[in-house]
Amino acid sequence: MLDELDVRPGHTALDLGCGPGTDFEALAAAVTATGTVLGIDHDQAIVEAARARTADQPVVDVRSGDVHDLTLPDHCADRARTDRVSQHVSDPRLALSEVHRVLRPGGRLVMGEPDWETPETPGAGRQRSTTSPAWTARRARSTVSSFSPTGAT
């Protein structure tokens, strides 16, 4: 996912539904000291844990917030990511509209979600998706490029 996000020095990168900030270190390294990583999560206890985890990373800012109503200005971010978040949002269209609003023109959104529909691979023991990451990335690019916040595609 981080490769697909293509974060560069000086970028503002959003991690929406950031959880405890597992990817903040990699994102901070990618934006360098000239950029910003902004993590947003709705769970205040998780936000506090993420803040503690990143106390030594000045480019990381962790805030409590709601992906349906981001308290950010229009066109303020170069990159945005979600990882296992959209399955939990109450209104995916509204959430995507908010991400669309805060991304700069030419910005990039990368979303990772579990594949709950692919049946278990025979003989694999644990449930495993047979959908390749490359196929998922192509499908996501197609979906996001045809997304219209007003409902028209």
Q: What is the pTM of this model?
A: 0.76
Report the pLDDT averaged over residues 108-118: 72
Is the confidence at residue 135, as pLDDT, over 50? no
Which of helix, strand or coil describes residue 26?
A: helix
105 membership: H or E segment, kind and range: strand 103-112
Query: What pLDDT digit, counting tens, does each position of 16-74 carry?
Result: 989 899 999 999 999 999 999 999 999 999 999 999 999 999 999 999 999 899 999 99
**Do 109 and 124 belong to one domain?**
no
Which pLDDT score is estimated for 12? 97
In angstroms, the Cα distances linking 8 to 12, 72, 96, 105, 118 are 9, 21, 23, 16, 34
The Cα 45–Cα 51 span in angstroms is 10
**Do 59 and 90 belong to one domain?**
yes
In angstroms, the Cα distances linking 99 to 6, 54, 55, 77, 128 are 17, 24, 26, 9, 30
Residue 50 lies in a domain: yes
Residue 153 lies in a domain: no
Domain extent at residue 64: 2-113
Number of structural domains found in the chain = 2
Residue 143 lies in a domain: yes
**Do 61 and 76 belong to one domain?**
yes
**Do 66 and 141 belong to one domain?**
no
41 membership: H or E segment, kind and range: strand 36-41
